[in-house]
Amino acid sequence: MDSYQTAIDGYAFDCETIEDAFQKAIARYEYPYRDGAATEDMGEKARVIKLRCYWLGEVYPQHAEFLEHIKQREMFELSHPKYGLIHGRIEAVSVRHDDRLETAEVDVTFVQDLASRETPARYIDVESAGEEFFAVGQQELMDEFAGDVREALGVEAEGVLARDLNPESGIVEQFPGVSTKARNYLKNVESFVGLLAAEAAEAANPANSLLAATDFGTTLPGRVIGTLARTVERYARLRDSLTSSPLRFLQSLKGGLTGLSSRAGRFGKYTRIASGQRLALEAATLYKDDETARQTLRLREQVKSFDALGNYLDPEPAPVVMNVVELERSLAEVRDELRAGIDLARRVESLKTMALQLQEHVGTIKLERDRIVSISLDNALPLHLVCLRQGLPYAYAERLLSINELPHPSFAQGEVSVYVR
């Protein structure tokens, strides 16, 4: 047998794997006057790993501390070089030691716990990722605008782009001596900035927003894109009262920004890209809040509603989370706007990254893939009874409602997605 360096709860030692076994739980159904039995595979029994652990020489005294540690009733963590990280409990221990030779052999029977066989879903911090690439997107949008200025003005563009502007003065008046072509172009830019400044003026830009910490600089691209970003932010803040319904909030914001893009004329390209950036950022924030509510819901599911005598304990109400339809439709609304921006400016890579991150987050939340199966219900059943039939706590009813499109939680019928424990 091969010898490995292994550890249990941080106690390292050399060991050999004596046995790694599992058994099937086979149900036998025997009938009178019939030979043999019908069988049914009920799944695997617990996996049992038998290890022979060695403490030799200088590390010999540590085995006594290890033996004292494993007397606990807690779950243990086995770090095995071949099997990886396994959680479980120690069922049996056999010790042989010799103080004169400073040698100890400890046979350990380790029973793997079911929880260590599940692959937990990994949740990215979608809000932080959204903020990061939103900031990157502002610089990319300024670069896109600068590239279009170079294309429109030719050799004059570098002088126009390099000049620092006074934010309190108009744009055209700060470029004396430019050609008529350049002056007409700058007049259109100034009209666009004036349109943006007048839009949603009744809303204030929050002092602690992400844009407040963004440096747009003092050049023409920063003046235009900074004004655009703040205008789009005011559109979002006007709709804060709708955030309790994320889908309605995103649909309303998208509709308002579509109208702004239509009024922007030849500069609607930048408005459309900024709209996608803002929608993605708002969606990321809403998804982060939704995930926080889901974490709270998972904890509430473990709290009993009744005591041993059947008395109702009146637990705190479960938080409302987005259901599968709201997740899919909200993601579709945002990705549609991001796709439009990508079609207009392929060089703005952050749009693609934001779209991918939102899709991955929703996919993780919606599926928790390895723990969901579909069942067919011939008759309408309440979700609490569906939980009972599937061996789930009745508190899972709220979670099942969030991953299914059901007209009413008391009448679940047809194909229904349920969790497997």
Of 185, 108, 175, 118, which Cα lies nearest the Cα of 154? 185
* Greatest pairwise CA separation for the chain in angstroms: 109
CA atoms within 13 A on the CB side of 132: 9
The rounded distance, in Å, linking the Cα atoms of 401 and 169 is 56
Tens of pLDDT, residues 227-238: 999 999 999 999
For 318-363, the pLDDT digits (tens) are 677 787 778 889 999 999 999 999 999 888 999 999 999 999 888 8
Q: What is the DSSP letter of 175?
A: -
The Cα 48–Cα 44 span in angstroms is 11
Report the 10 Å Cβ neighbour count for 133.
Answer: 23
- Residue 269 clears pLDDT 80, i.e. is over it: yes
Q: Residue 307's pLDDT is what?
A: 66
Question: How far lies 202's CA from each of 198, 227, 281, 329, 353, in Å?
Answer: 9, 15, 22, 30, 33
Distance CA 44, CA 23 (A): 6
d(CA 278, CA 197): 17
Q: Determine the Cα–Cα distance for residues 410 and 413; give it in Å rounded to an integer.
A: 10
Would you say residue 389 has pLDDT above 60? yes
Three-state secondary structure call for residue 197: helix
| Residue-averaged pLDDT of the chain | 85
Question: How far, in Å, CA of 88 to CA of 347, rounded?
Answer: 51
Task: State the Cα–Cα distance between residues 247 and 329, nearest whole angstrom.
Answer: 7
Domain range list for the chain: 3-117, 126-367, 369-419
Q: In the structure, what pLDDT confidence band is assigned to residue 117 with cuts at 50, 70 and 90?
A: low
Q: Give me the residue label for tokens 């599911």.
A: 301
| Whole-number pLDDT of residue 64 | 85
Give me the pLDDT at residue 232, please. Answer: 94
What is the distance between the alpha carbons of residues 207 and 308, in angstroms, rounded to a whole number? 52
Residue 229 to residue 252: CA distance in whole angstroms: 18
Quote the tokens at residue 158: 């570098």
Q: Which of 145-149, 219-223, 400-404 has the weakest average pLDDT?
A: 400-404
CATH 3.40.50.720 fits 3-117, yes or no: no
Could you give the CA distance from residue 74 to residue 83 in angstroms, rounded to a whole number? 21
pLDDT digits (tens, 9 = 90+) for 24-41: 888 888 888 888 888 888
- DSSP secondary structure code for residue 306 in this structure: B
End-to-end alpha-carbon separation of the chain, Å?
36
How high is the pLDDT of residue 120?
47
Average of per-residue pLDDT across 382-396: 81
d(CA 154, CA 151) in angstroms, rounded, equals 6
Structure tokens belonging to residue 24: 């099937």
* Dihedral sign, Cα of residue 236, residue 239, residue 243, residue 245: negative
Residue, of 246 and 6, whose pLDDT is higher: 246
Q: What integer pLDDT is reported at residue 369 of this predicted model? A: 41
- Under the banding of pLDDT at 50, 70 and 90, the label for residue 208 is confident
Q: Is the pLDDT of residue 115 over 70?
A: no
Cβ count near 13 (within 10 Å): 21
> Which alpha helices (DSSP H) does 264-315 contain, by range?
268-300
Give the chain's count of helices (H) and strands (E).
11, 10
The predicted pLDDT at position 123 comes to 59
The model's pTM: 0.64
What distance in Å separates the CA atoms of residue 12 and residue 80, rounded to the nearest whole number? 10
